[in-house]
């Protein structure tokens, strides 16, 4: 009895290809960043702005940010020591270059390893993705960091157009 290898190989290839496409579709394509799942991070960071997905910045950026919450983009975002440690640990563990590399690596492609970006809105990939946004749309959004103004699914991690 001969085994028909060619149809089996073709079937396995088709199955693997379909699984790859399905995974990408389920993850929201190339514009998905897993949202913050830690309740302390979501509460403390999300009380003033969208709790940004940790996979949008490298670990060194989150460490630097957590190390100076008293001067958080012009505001004092200080929290108690235990909360600061928990927030920093979570963000670093899920950063683009650590636990969140699968989703955030695309945002960091043009960022030199020596750089420590603090603003997602200044990342080369972010700038490229948003270059066509009109001045009127930015005015309506009131801030480049106000992702939910244009991306209705931002709080769930979806940033499709």
pLDDT bin (cut points 50, 70, 90) of residue 4 is: confident
Confidence (pLDDT) at 127: 94
Residues ≥6 apart with Cβ < 8 Å to 150: 133, 137, 141
Q: Please check the confidence at residue 13 and state whether its pLDDT lies above 50.
A: yes
Confidence (pLDDT) at 24: 45
Average pLDDT over residues 12-40: 70
Residue entry with tokens 């950026």: 61
pLDDT bin (cut points 50, 70, 90) of residue 58 is: very high
Distance CA 30, CA 43 (A): 27
Confidence (pLDDT) at 22: 52
Q: Please check the confidence at residue 28 and state whether its pLDDT lies above 80.
A: no
Angstrom distances, CA of residue 79 to CA of 43, 58, 131, 145: 11, 22, 35, 22
Give the three-state DSSP class for 74.
coil
What does the pLDDT look like over 68-106, one tens digit per residue? Answer: 999 999 999 999 999 999 999 999 999 998 877 777 778
Most distant pair of Cα atoms in the chain: their distance: 76
Average pLDDT over residues 5-10: 74
Q: Please check the confidence at residue 19 and state whether its pLDDT lies above 70.
A: no
Distance CA 124, CA 107 (A): 8
Share of the chain above pLDDT 90, in %: 68
Confidence (pLDDT) at 29: 56
């Amino acid at each position: 009895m001969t085994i028909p290898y060619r149809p089996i190989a073709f079937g396995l290839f088709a199955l693997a290809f379909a699984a790859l496409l399905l995974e990408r579709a389920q993850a929201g394509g190339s514009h998905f960043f897993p949202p913050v799942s830690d309740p302390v991070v979501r509460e403390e960071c999300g009380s003033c702005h969208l709790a940004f997905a940790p996979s949008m910045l490298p670990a060194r950026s989150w460490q630097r940010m957590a190390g100076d919450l008293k001067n958080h983009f012009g505001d004092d975002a200080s929290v108690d020591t235990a909360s600061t440690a928990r927030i920093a640990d979570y963000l670093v563990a899920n950063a683009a270059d650590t636990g969140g590399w699968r989703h955030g690596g695309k945002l960091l492609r043009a960022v030199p390893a020596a750089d420590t970006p603090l603003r997602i809105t200044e990342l080369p990939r972010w700038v490229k993705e948003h270059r066509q946004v009109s001045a009127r749309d930015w005015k309506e959004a009131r801030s480049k960091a106000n992702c939910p103004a244009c991306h209705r699914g931002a709080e769930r991690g979806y940033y499709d157009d």
